[in-house]
Chains A and B, each alone.
Chain A
Amino acid sequence: MSGTLYPIDESDLSDAVSGAIGPLQILGGGTRPIGRIIKAQKLSTEMLKGIVTYEPGALTMVAKSGTPIAEIQTELAAENQRLAFEPMDYRGLLDTNGAPTLGGVVAANVSGPRRIQVGAARDFTLGLSFVDGNGQLLKNGGRVMKNVTGYDLVKLMAGSWGTLGVLSEVALKVLPASETQTTLEIHVTSWEQAVGCMSAALRTPFDVSGAATQCDKYGKIGVLVRVEGFEASVVYRIEQLKAKLFEFGNITELPDPWLEVKNLNSWKPLNTVWRISVRPTDALKILELMRLLQKDRGFQCQLDWGGGLIWIGLNVEQANDVASCTQVHESLQALVATLGGHGNLIKSKILSNLDITHFQPLPRAVSIITKTLRQKFDPRGILNPQRMS
């Protein structure tokens, strides 16, 4: 296999795909090696970079897919704006190098804690250009905030992990950065209380922009509740929330903990990690299953999105044999199949070489639709084949 292809513009990208004689592994910065990755010719969008237009007054930015997220964030910060969906940086958790790119973030629909308030990457992607499996350059959406002209392929492409096309350009909606933030930590004594507390916070009209948990080294659970906005507003809302949430436990104010909540850098040493998305109150069923399976071996857990996002992690002592680790994996995906949602394997030294389903298997009807859609976008099946399986 020859070295990585680095197309320098859209026509070059189009040629690279149409000229491919076998499968391609599509890369941005290469910071998220998640899913099934088969041996293939690598194609990187890293040379397709640069901000094309940025209109702060219209809250929109258009940039090439290979543009590093860091560059975009710097540019936005200069105008006191931001990517409100708070994309997670996987480098710490997955121990990868490189620079996360805009294309990668959209292709994997990467979002962070603020998703519960403002939406995910897919909700902030206004339009995009991409090259399909035939090498055809296509576009969908635009660069305006509201657009229902034709089918919304933007959503379909967002989170398709490069299996339907290679993104070349993305138009984003951006939002003003908030003047200030305050985070409360509520010290609860059980996961039931943690989920109840987050649900109570999210039921208030106080625009909570983060509801997650964080465990200390003794396993004590802290519920984190964030409020952002103008100073006066944040002060008011925090006081109201304290009054509402004190019944769940002692409350303290914390210095900004959200970088760690979002990126899980401290989970780097863990050898196996799953990312699960279910109905928030179903988080308790996932945890109950884990307790049953792991018994005294234990496991790490972080809830985000009010319980709707569950990170499960095992360290070397907790996951040292193939059989029990496989059982956890299969049991999690089986339970999620009955609850609805997804349970994806994010990393595993033990499981990654086995023939397992990294991504949550699809229900039959959805699986047929998915397969047929892929055939339309990529008839030769060369774009990141099997990545989402």
Chain B
Amino acid sequence: MEMPQPNLEVLRKKLEIVTALLEVLPREAVIDNPAETKAYECDALTAYRCPPMIAVLPSTTQQVSEVLKICYHHEVPVVPRGSGTSLAGGALPTVDSVILGVAKMNKVLETDYENRVIKVQSGRTNLSVSGAVEEENFFYAPDPSSQLACAIAGNIAMNSGGAHCLKYGVTTNNLLGVKMVMMDGEIVEIGGSYLDSSGLDILGVICGSEGQLGVVTEATLRILPKPEGARPVMIAFNSNEVAGTCVADIIKAGVLPVAIEFMDRPIIEICEKFAKAGYPECEALLIVEVEGSETEIQDQMDRISSIAKRHSPIELRQSQSEAESAAIWLGRKSAFGAVGQVSDYMCLDGTIPVSALPQVLRRIEGLSKKYGLKVGNVFHAGDGNMHPLIMYDANKDGDLALCEAMGAEVLRLCVEVGGCLTGEHGVGIEKRDLMEDQYSLNDLEVQMSVKDVFDPKWLLNPAKVFPLSASENRRLG
């Protein structure tokens, strides 16, 4: 992966920058020893690594502001970091960069059940936001699979989704306001505990801007009353195509499940071996989850089952208890770990129109043969958000490059059928150079001009999202 040439002037001034940072932060919050900065060399896209020059861990918005003022003054690139769980390299440093981690800022600032909002510091983990409102039977809806570890800051940067967003939407649909520090240190508040701000929807463009517009330190989030209960139906088919048609039919029938998950044969087999969830032998498995009271759940499960039966499933299992639900979800939830046990893999997340599903799965199979790399598919079928896992051997020369090449072809395929490069992981460095496949240079130019407004010197996470060639003039000033 190509990264920009480091700014030698910045590297030369390292000591001066560290000294300035120590004036605004306690000693333990400034990490400049190469043995320790190594801890920040990558995020969850571990194929690419590069330790930063310095890492800082501020505890307050004011400290974030002071840090950014220093970096702005010395023109140091800053890479914001939540928990470092990005699958797209969103928090990958450059050698001349300062990693700005918000992990220490994890407090709940306000819970307001009457207005159904919570205000948290952005380093708080996704799951612990729900944890903070559980006592009143509320939850925070977006549920990326890394929710135990991932921070709200990263969720906002990447506009994270999750399995349940078919019903509840992604981060942008659940984010009401932010406190954000701009690159020059100015602190701004956008939105709040209300639905409509005045003026342009600036919050909407901040969410999903991959840490390139500012460092979000506080977030106001919508919380929802927990449903009375939830249970899945598991449906097994002998063909991907039929499973795909079944998904479309469920949606057309007016049932809106909270999740429709799809697994293909390679994934089913790996998961079964790993988790022993008791999945049947089949080509495609759907897990459809519905919510409500006992009667409502049964009613919806019956509707789904009767639609599924029209497509002659080889097995259909309605969960009747917590234990059965857990068993059905077990394999799916362990999918990534299970694949990780048998192979290195790259997880893509291109999204396609649901109608293109069978066609895309067939063509991915073709690509798998062409490249000689095994692929498993596990994804959110209701919204067309694919997750092909391309398996490769990191120790084998050339395998990563082969995997990258195949990944690029899969993502181009997603764009070709009317979809997009990434549905929930973000562009980061991983898909940066494919952006021209989805957007014209003019389309990218207008996006980059938005960054110009917030960060005219292009210091915030500068080598991400846009092809290096497209952003070059801006990055080099």
Contacts and interface: CB of A to CB of B under 8 A. Distances in A.
Interface stretch (A36-44, A65-73, A200-208): A200-208
A114 to B, nearest CB: 12
A155 B112 CA distance: 26
Contacts of B48: none
A155 B172 contact: yes
A225 to B, nearest CB: 14
A146 B194 CA distance: 24
B169 A123 contact: yes
A323 interface: no
Interface string B249-279: 1011111100000000000000000000000
Interface string B354-398: 110000000000000000000000001011110000000000000
Interface in B394-438: 418-427, 431, 435, 438
A342 B197 contact: yes
Contacts of B207: 152, 155
Contacts of B117: 279
Given A58-B384, A122-B204, A203-B225, A145 B351 contact: yes
A149 B421 contact: yes
A292 interface: no
A189 B414 CA distance: 57
A360 B200 CA distance: 11
Contact of A152 (B114, B204, B383, B423): B204
Contacts of B280: none
B158 A58 contact: no
B194 A277 contact: yes
Interface string A146-171: 11111111111011100110000000
Given A146-B385, A159-B201, A138 B442 contact: yes
B169 A138 contact: no
A198 to B, nearest CB: 10
Contacts of B453: 369, 372-373, 376
Given A149-B420, A176-B251, A373 B427 contact: no
B293 A58 contact: no
B159 A152 contact: yes
A262 interface: no
A146 B351 contact: yes
Interface string B182-206: 0000101110111111111111110
Contact of A232 (B247, B295, B422): B295
Contacts of B225: 202-205
Interface stretch (B12-20, B67-75, B123-131, B444-452): B444-452
Nearest to B425: A148
B158 A148 contact: yes
Interface string A350-389: 0000000001111101110110110011000000000010
Nearest to B192: A340
B208 interface: yes
Given A199-B115, A369-B454, A152 B252 contact: no
Contacts of B195: 115-116, 120, 277, 305, 308-309
A16 B256 CA distance: 43
Contacts of B351: 142, 144-147
B199 A236 contact: no
A7 interface: no
Contacts of A139: 439-440, 443
B111 interface: no
B463 to A, nearest CB: 15
A366 B353 contact: no
A122 to B, nearest CB: 6
A56 interface: yes
A364 to B, nearest CB: 9
Contacts of B238: none
Given A55-B353, A140-B443, A205 B227 contact: yes
Contact of A236 (B112, B293, B382): B293
Contacts of A119: 169, 173
Contacts of B158: 148
Given A144-B423, A146-B424, A150-B447, A156 B204 contact: yes
Nearest to A136: B442
A146 to B, nearest CB: 4
Contacts of A136: 442, 446
B89 interface: no
Contact of A376 (B300, B423, B427, B452): B452
B194 A279 contact: yes
Given A155-B205, A280-B114, A57 B252 contact: yes
A341 B194 contact: yes
A10 to B, nearest CB: 13
A209 interface: no
A151 B450 contact: yes
A60 B248 CA distance: 12
A258 to B, nearest CB: 18
A260 interface: no
Interface string B153-165: 0000011010001
Nearest to A344: B198
A79 B252 contact: yes
Interface string A226-244: 0000101100100000000
A341 B252 contact: no
A369 B137 CA distance: 38
Q: Which of A154, A176, A279 has the most CB of B within 10 A?
A: A279
Contacts of B36: none
Interface of A: 55-60, 79-80, 109, 115-116, 119-120, 122-123, 132, 136-140, 142-156, 158-160, 163-164, 175-179, 199, 202-205, 230, 232-233, 236, 277-282, 305, 308-309, 340-342, 344, 359-363, 365-367, 369-370, 372-373, 376-377, 388
17 contacts: A80-B254, A122-B204, A123-B172, A138-B443, A142-B419, A145-B382, A145-B384, A148-B159, A150-B447, A152-B204, A153-B450, A175-B256, A279-B192, A344-B198, A359-B199, A366-B190, A372-B453
Interface of B: 112-117, 137, 158-159, 161, 165-166, 169-170, 172-173, 186, 188-190, 192-205, 207-209, 225-228, 247-249, 251-256, 292-293, 295-296, 299-300, 303, 351-355, 380, 382-385, 418-427, 431, 435, 438-440, 442-444, 446-447, 449-454, 465-466
Given A145-B385, A232-B295, 8 more contacts: A138-B442, A148-B426, A150-B466, A233-B292, A341-B198, A342-B198, A377-B449, A388-B200
